[in-house]
Amino acid sequence: MASRLRSISKQISAFRARAEVATGNALDWAFLRGSLVQSGLTPYETLLSGDPMSLRYYPPPYEDRIPLSNGETMPVQRKRHAVPLVLVPPLGVTTESFDLMPHRSLARFFAARGYHVYMIDWGIPERRHATLRLKDYSIDMFSEAIAEVRKHSGVEEVSLMGWCMGGLLSLMYAGGSGDTKIRNLITIASPIDFRSSGIPAMLGRIIQKPAELVRRYTPLRVQDLNPISMQMPGWVTTLGFKLTDPIGSVTTYWNLAKRLADREFVESHSTTADYLDHMLVYPVGVLQDMFVHALIDNQFADGIMSLGDIDADLSTIKADYLAYAGSTDHIVPIDVASKSAELVGSESSEFRVAPGGHMGVILGSKAAHEVWEPCAQWLDSRSDIAGVENKQEKPSAAARTVRRMQSRHRAEDPTL
């Protein structure tokens, strides 16, 4: 009897402790939610500041090992690959896409895997940016960013890695800029064939016939409409994304309520929710181009995309190419993304499917094992240049940045 009472007492104490933790987490979530958000914590240096585009450089982590989302740790490689890696996020989201949390940071992962990591930050579009077109991003800004990467790294060849529209912009740049120094190109969940299936195909089928009638019988052209008069706030992007999975958008809060006593889960939920709640507006000029050339004309399915006075031709891409799609992606299903591997002119071209939806395939808890590490292994043998160290008479700006940031970190942390 006494032992049973002690057991009940322990259970009550454990329940009380969990209730106290859950209450504290609930209060933080309700009133101090910013303290739970863990995004954008990886150190970086801004190399280029434009309007709206800027460029970041992520040096290797200071730690000897970094945590991964599965609870394991990964050693930090101090030897750098010669060919720099440029991460290209989509429009419509913040740069936290690739630095969501310390243990789920694509930028930090590849910096730890021995790469000079750069990230294009497309900035926060405002009303004055409404007239920007696909060419402005995929050719003009992209070219400016790549030129700075080459200057900073001291290496001409680069690797590109883009998610969703970031991959599409990378393909446009590679196929339309005439840049022959792109060694490797990776796209993840990037839409190519807008007629095959999923949400893009559904939208395309809805608007195709009306669009054809408008073209045939009226002088109205979407491209001629004033973009500034149609600019929308960023919450429209957030709403549109959540409407692709309305049930999931609701049940995520039920999961939060059930796991309020788990601080790590509450931080993860709060960080992801903050990321989704702060999506960015798309410049209307970009939407006009995508509406006409992708949804209506489905140009990229034929391997060519019109970018103002030039065409992005995928058959001219000679870089080694790797494409991924998420197995449960309803926004960019497998057959919407897969055709890119057939259209590029690369001698080495491969398409793979990984677990996850549109976000999960690149940001989810399994992404490091299922996508990041395989991509790193694929890049490893393609990212070295024989004797590149001996070709440089003095250390590159990237090497100097690493030393400078390490010195600054040691000054801030005297225990190192």
Residue with tokens 């990041």: 372
In a domain, 150, yes or no: yes
363 falls within a domain: yes
Nearest-angstrom CA–CA distance, 157 and 219 = 46
Looking at 50-59, 256-265, 277-286, 289-298, which range is the least confident one? 256-265
In a domain, 23, yes or no: no
Residue 14 domain-assigned? no
**Residue 216 pLDDT level (bands cut at 50, 70, 90):** low
Read off the CATH number of the domain in which 91 is found: 3.40.50.1820
| pLDDT tier for residue 223 given thresholds of 50, 70 and 90 | low
Band (pLDDT 50/70/90 cuts) for residue 265 is confident
**pLDDT at 203 > cutoff 60:** yes
Average pLDDT (261-280) is 81
pLDDT at 22: 77
Overall average pLDDT of the 105-117 stretch: 98
pLDDT of 244 > 70? The answer is no
From 59-63, 74-78, 164-168, 196-200, the region with the lowest mean pLDDT: 196-200
Check residue 188 and give its pLDDT.
99
The reported pLDDT for the residue numbered 390 is 42
Q: pTM to 2 decimals?
A: 0.86
The residue-averaged pLDDT of 170-178 equals 98
Question: Would 26 be classed as within a structural domain?
Answer: no
Identify whether 106 is part of a domain: yes
Nearest CA to 282 out of 294, 266, 270, 299 is that of 294
Minimum mean pLDDT among 91-105, 137-151, 205-219, 370-384: which range?
Answer: 205-219
Cα 399 from Cα 143, distance rounded (Å): 23
Cβ(336)–Cβ(200) below 8 Å: yes
Q: Is residue 338 very low, low, confident or very high in pLDDT (cuts 50, 70, 90)?
A: very high
Task: Count CB-CB contacts under 10 A for residue 348.
Answer: 13
Q: Is the residue at 366 inside a domain? A: yes
C-alpha–C-alpha distance, residues 70 and 90, integer Å: 26
Q: What is the arithmetic mean of pLDDT over 371-394?
A: 80
Q: Give 221's pLDDT tier (boundaries 50, 70, 90).
A: low
68 vs 37: which has the higher pLDDT: 68
Q: What is the overall mean pLDDT for the chain?
A: 86
Is the per-residue pLDDT at 97 higher than 60?
yes
**pLDDT(156) > 80:** yes
Compute the distance between CA of residue 5 and CA of residue 99 in angstroms, rounded to an integer: 49
Confidence of residue 293 (pLDDT cuts 50, 70, 90): confident
pLDDT of residue 66: 96
- Which of 164-173, 291-300, 303-312, 381-390 bottoms out in mean pLDDT, i.e. has the lowest? 381-390
Is it the case that residue 225 has pLDDT exceeding 80? no
Q: Judge whether 40 lies within some domain.
A: yes
pLDDT tier at 413, thresholds 50, 70, 90:
low
> How many domains does the chain divide into?
1
Q: Counting Cβ atoms within 10 Å, is residue 398 exposed (0-12), middle (13-18) or buried (19+)?
A: buried
Q: Which domain holds residue 218?
A: 35-385+394-412
Cβ-contact 280, 125 below 8 angstroms: yes
Residue 240: what pLDDT? 63
